[in-house]
Amino acid sequence: MATVEYSFFSLITGLNPGGVIGVTWSHPGFDYGDAITVTAHPIRAVLAVQNLRVFREGSLVRLAFEVVNVGTRPEIAFGLGFGWVDR
């Protein structure tokens, strides 16, 4: 039976309009065939997640992606939400 999992954490970093931050994240719950989503939760800007990639390093499954400030205001901090459905 499939299980739905969720994780959230915050980043405190500046991100000017048009700025891009690369993020690599791993979690022991990810595995081959899981459905994974990533969302960026801004405080005052408009953010997008792009270039999501999934790869394996040994026994860990890692996510790599970029968060982009697509708005007109600088961002001082934001949250990242991860959701996945495992087999």
How far is the C-alpha of 79 from the C-alpha of 6, rounded, in Å? 13
Q: What is the pLDDT along the chain (87 residues), one digit of tens a residue?
A: 788 888 899 999 999 999 999 998 887 777 778 888 999 999 999 999 999 998 888 878 888 999 999 999 999 999 999 998 987
How far is the C-alpha of 54 from the C-alpha of 24, rounded, in Å? 10
Sequence letter at residue 41: H
Q: How is residue 28 written in tokens? A: 């022991």
